[in-house]
Amino acid sequence: MTERKDCECERNSIPLLGQKFPSLKVQTTQGLLDLPEHFKGKWFVLFSHPADFTPVCTTEFVAFQLRYEKFKALNTELIGLSIDQVFSHIKWIEWIKENIKIEGKPVSIEFPVIADDTGKVAKKLGLIHEAKGTNTVRAVFIVDDKAVIRAILYYPQELGRNVDEILRMVKALQVSDKNSVAMPHNWPENELIGSDAIIPPAMSVQEAEQRLQQEKQGSIKCFDWWLCYKKV
């Protein structure tokens, strides 16, 4: 009978919602950074792109940069990533600045970009999907100021992201945290309740009765006891 030996094998499971963002040391266009420590006390959006010097990725980088101040107003930083080497990132950023102008002004990429030429970070975060090729897909990780992963998005290589939607998600998550509410479809422009937010459903008969009483008092509005909302 063969004796079975235990072995310790490194698990490369993809991070999940609600988990801490994994500790990573990364080479970027702004030097070596420790994640998530580098963004301590801030939210950050990490987004991967298939490759430098590609059309769709260029449009996305311009879009992220044009909204960078809006992200920073939400205490949120940006950081890009692909499996290109750092000199490729630097040259691509230079190309964007020299060739892309919006309202006559050059677009200068101000956020760092991770050069994951070994693929180690991409593997850790689940960014390479073999059925879609060997490059990173268009993934997005929204991480809060406690380094907790709050949202993960995956886009195919042929589909560019809507950066306004990512900005909306950051703002909605922050409003949700601050007010202990849930956010409706397309907040703050929902068809039913506009810019209001949803109160979590009542969990007892007594709480349901309280909701209806609160509605009578005008502090909240309800379609029924299980679907109530308020201004935020």
Q: Is the dihedral of CA 152, 174, 74, 24 positive or negative?
A: negative
Nearest Cα residue to 158 out of 123, 184, 121, 133 = 133
Cβ 49 vs Cβ 81: under 8 Å = yes
57 is catalytic: yes
Cβ 34 vs Cβ 118: under 8 Å = no
Residue tagged active-site, from 7, 9, 57, 222 = 57
Nearest Cα residue to 68 out of 109, 29, 38 = 109
Nearest-angstrom CA–CA distance, 202 and 227: 9
Query: Active-site residue numbers?
Result: 57
